[in-house]
Structure 1
Amino acid sequence: MEKVKPKKHLGQHFLIDLGIAENIAKAITGHGAITKVLEIGPGMGVLTDFLLKEKWDLYLVDIDRESIKYLREKYPDLGEKIIEADFLRKDFASLMRDPYAIIGNFPYNISSQILFNVLDQRNQVTEVVCMLQKEVAQRIASPKGNKDYGILSVLLQAFYDIEYLFSVPPGVFNPPPRVNSGVIRLKRNQVNKLECDEKLFFRVVKQGFGTRRKTLRNCLKSLGISEELSKDPIMDKRAEQLDVQEFIGLTLKIQESWNQ
């Protein structure tokens, strides 16, 4: 089998360090009693080899036709579980049916989109182990008050417990990226439904971080904040100073002000 050439337009950086690949594969815990695992962007199967040793019911998805051809030759027993598709456009909720975990070395240029997709499937995706650009990984795992803390931090932390596992240097990839990488693990928490309107919560979080240096009073003006709520001390804060529960509380206050 000919080796797959990494393609710049797909953001491919193939992991070549077997020790790191093994550590990533072993990071899946089976949270939520899952047996199905979907690997995004397996490339030439460096991570796949270790996942197969873990005896998961494994599915592979890659948008790269050359990778798919290589993987089908390398893993003939996986058959139709090797899927040529764009993860962001394929309906994996219907395909997988049961709860499942996601793992992968995510292309850095679409990693945030993949994680927003995970949020949409949060009642089915019980665990995620992924390698991202280090800054993005740190942002997602950051607590409030940290300069890295942002929209994805709040939205993902509302539904997942998040751990930053370890950092990965550029030299273990072909070709080496220009940035360091980080591996994180997300485990679905016990929150089935937020105590507030979820659509409004998402909107408040996104607008709150729209202009990081401004106070929430200025960021949320377009939501029709009442004069009374505008005087609330929470409006003197910036979005990065609020954790998930405080954002839920703020959303409830906005809902209440609308009903008055």
Structure 2
Amino acid sequence: MVITKKVSRAVIMVQKEFAEKLVSNEEHKAISVLANYGFRIKFLMNVRKSNFFPMPKVDSVVMLLEQKKVIQKILILTVNRIFSYRRKTLQNILKQFGVNSTSKNVWMNCQEMKL
């Protein structure tokens, strides 16, 4: 999904498991890298499944997302492409893009995005 209008702040409710993946430092996924790059994410409250009728199978979480940086479409495409290659090093993936992986700027950008 690409948001074309600027969103500076959003309050969302999502499944608890998805929220945990979104902020996880252990399990990197394209969505978590992009979300953490573009937004400060704060848990506001847990919502138990018993609060709904009919009751769903999972608990939910209300989260606040505040924009840190605008996520450009090219960044979304690049991160998605990087994560589509399983078991390849970032250096080898960047070579396929024609990027000089020894460039200091490339590695600084990757560190900033926690890749």
- Establish whether TM, by shorter chain, passes 0.5: yes
Identity %: 29
Match of 1:223 in 2: 97
- The superposition leaves residues 122-158 of structure 1 with CA deviations (integer Å, 9 ceiling, x where unpaired) of x2x221111111121122233x4x21x3222222333
The runs of 5 or more residues in structure 1 that have no matched partner are 1-115, 236-240, 248-260
Q: After the TM superposition, which parts of structure 1 deviate over 4 Å for at least 4 consecutive aligned residues?
A: none
Contact 1:210-1:219 at 8 Å conserved across structures:
no
Q: 1:98-247 alignment to 2 at 5 Å? A: 116-117=1-2, 119-121=3-5, 123=6, 125-142=7-24, 144=25, 146-147=26-27, 149-189=28-68, 191=69, 198-211=72-85, 213-226=87-100, 229=101, 242-244=111-113
**TM-score computed with the length of structure 1 as normaliser:** 0.35
Larger CA Rg, structure 1 vs 2: 1
Q: Which amino acid aligns with 1:207?
A: R
2: CA distance, partners of 1:177 / 1:243: 37
2: CA distance, partners of 1:173 / 1:157: 29
Q: Which amino acid aligns with 2:10?
A: V
Contact 1:154-1:243 at 8 Å conserved across structures:
no
1: CA distance, partners of 2:41 / 2:17: 15
Instruction: Specify which structure has the bigger relative contact order, considering alpha-carbon pairs within 8 angstroms and separated by 6 or more residues.
Output: 2
**TM-score computed with the length of structure 2 as normaliser:** 0.69
Measured on the aligned residues, the alpha-carbon RMSD in Å equals 3.2
Match of 1:7 in 2: none
Equivalent residue pairs, number: 112
The runs of 5 or more residues in structure 2 that have no matched partner are none
